[in-house]
Amino acid sequence: MTIDQARLWNRLEALSEITDPERPWTRRSFTLRFLEGRDWLAAEFRAAGLETAIDAAGNLIGRLPGSDPALKPILIGSHSDTVPSGGRYDGILGVLAGLEVAQSLAESGQRLRHPLEIVDFLAEEPSEFGLSCIGSRGLAGALSEEHLALRRPDGMTLREGIAFVGGRPEELASVARPGGSVAAYVEVHIEQGRVLESEAVPIGIVTDIVGIRRERITVTGRADHAGATPMPLRADALVGASRLIEAAYRRALATARDNQPLVATFGRIEVSPNAANAVPGEAVMILEVRSGDEAAVKAFGEALVRDLRPALEELRLTVTSEPISHVAPTACAQDIRKAIADASASLGLATRDLPSGAGHDGVFVARTGPIGMIFVPCLDGRSHAPEESITPEQAGDGTRVLAQTLRLLDTRLS
């Protein structure tokens, strides 16, 4: 099996060019632009000889039968949707690397023992419905009725959105795969960090995917006239919010030298009345905490609010917190990590173990079977930004390691 690096790169460039022309590189899930990319991708799957279909959860799947139909499938994939103005290689590298491996396998005349499935998961990135990893949740049986009832700003429900992309939300139960039904899942992804590039290491072997917790924190004071209200009499919610933001930053920064560092971000804040001449009466913020330490992720927001509450009360403010979502850290399987290491060594490529600070579909696929991830460097660690960039050689290295990992897993797994 020989990987055609030029073909892989041409496909990466072609799919990335299917973008909102006013905002490259943007291909948001549940949009006509996303469907255009999906149509192109499905055509490439079929041309490569894959049995191609969209499952009930809206995942695009291409399949190569194995020589032993009794064996569980090996899955390879990622996602083709993007965040706004970012994602030229994030996600699509994993899908197209999987496609290149499958096509090269078919062209070589070889056949795996295990069935092989290449998956483009629906909406890995946070969607307008307020939910991420929608397709992989569906695969794992983790899409609830509450999820399906979520609405985006224009009123469309997630149930309607899944149907819009060709899924069948009324049949979700039929697509959910139970634990132990997948032999292995492997994904190639850009690192989205600077470790591999700074150390000149071509391949990263992911040890675990961090846990992610989001909480809504509301600081309530009193809206007043900005000119007529003396400073000592104010109950300025935004001042209280700033205290929380600074404290969260300092507490997370203090973990930087830990084996399991934690990051905390207030990435969204809504202030009301939100007027230049009004004292803010309320500030609603979203706190996101990420770490491989499950206990630390759970405790951070609660401790932050508890410890800052007395200081906020001195400012005549109240503060409340409510959880929005929580995904536990997910470990990558030792057997798959070993196969990636052996595959890289056989190709003469150095490796480094490192955690993933970003979330991935593998978190939910792990409920169906063991997972592993292969990282390749990206320029200056930039991702989710227009500057996101990799080279054809980096894409090729990751795909060659994926191909060899697949061969090893096919012989080692039952």
Q: What is the CATH number of the domain that holds 35?
A: 3.40.630.10
Q: How do residues 185-197 score in pLDDT, each as one tens digit?
A: 999 999 999 999 9
Range of the domain at 133: 5-209+329-412
Q: Of 286, 304, 327, which one is at a domain's C-terminal end?
A: 327
Residue 324 above 90 pLDDT? Answer: no
Say which amino acid occupies 175.
V
Compute CA distances 83 → 17, 89, 101, 122, 414, whole Å.
15, 11, 26, 13, 38
Q: 216 and 74, same structural domain?
A: no
Q: Are 52 and 46 in contact (CB under 8 A)?
A: yes
Q: Torsion angle, CA of 46/50/56/57, rounded to 10 degrees?
A: -90
Phi–psi pair at 322, nearest 5 degrees = -140, 140
**Residues 273, 143: Cα–Cα separation, whole Å:** 36
Task: Read off the pLDDT band of 359 (50, 70, 90).
Answer: very high
Query: What's the pLDDT at 301?
Result: 98
At 305, which CATH number? 3.30.70.360
Please indicate, yes or no, whether residues 382 and 350 belong to a single structural domain of this protein.
Answer: yes
**Is 13 in the same domain as 142?**
yes
In sequence order, which residues have a C-beta less than 8 Å from that of residue 145 and are 6 or more positions away?
none
Contact yes or no for 60/395 (Cβ under 8 A) = no
What pLDDT score does 354 carry?
Answer: 93
Give backbone dihedrals phi and psi of 172, rounded to 5 degrees, phi first.
-55, -35
Domain finish residue from 275, 306, 327: 327
For the stretch 168-187, pLDDT in tens is 999 999 999 999 999 999 99
For helices 5-16 and 32-47, the axis angle rounded to 10 degrees is: 160
The Cα–Cα gap between 38 and 18 comes to 10
Ramachandran bin of 265, using left for φ above 0, alpha for ψ from -120 to 50, beta for the remaining angles:
beta
373: three-class secondary structure by DSSP = strand
pLDDT (tens digit per residue) in 237-264 = 999 999 999 999 999 999 988 778 899 9
- Judgement on whether residues 284 and 360 belong to the same structural domain of the protein: no
pLDDT digits (tens, 9 = 90+) for 277-305: 999 999 999 999 999 999 999 999 999 99
The whole-number average pLDDT for the span 214-218 is 96
**Closest CA relative to residue 33, chosen from 19, 45, 44, 23:** 19
- Among 327, 345, 377, the domain boundary falls at 327
Do residues 19 and 74 share a domain? yes
pLDDT tens-digit map of 302-318:
999 999 999 999 999 99
Read off the pLDDT of residues 195-205 as tens digits, 9 standing for 90 and up.
999 999 999 99
The 10 Å CB-count burial string (b at 16+, else e) for 235-258 is: bbbbbbbebbbebbeeebeebeee
- pLDDT score recorded for residue 7: 98
The count of domains in the chain is: 2
Output the pTM of the full model: 0.90
Give yes or no: residues 173 and 218 share one domain.
Answer: no
- Cα–Cα distance measured from residue 321 to residue 121, given in angstroms and rounded to the nearest whole number: 32
**Amino acid letter at 46?**
R
**Amino acid at the residue 356:** S
User: How far apart are alpha carbons 78 and 177 in whole angstroms?
Assistant: 17
Task: Give phi and psi for 205, each to the nearest 5.
Answer: -105, 115
Element (H, E) at 103: helix 92-107
Cα 343 to Cα 47, 337, 340, 353, 403: the distances in Å are: 28, 10, 5, 14, 8
Pairing mode, strands 318-327 and 211-220: antiparallel
What would the DSSP string read from start to end of 210-263? -EEEEEEEEEE-B-EETTTS-GGG-B-HHHHHHHHHHHHHHHHHTTTTSSS--E
> Looking at the structure, do residues 154 and 295 belong to the same domain, yes or no?
no
- Compute the mean pLDDT over every residue in the chain, rounded to the nearest whole number: 96
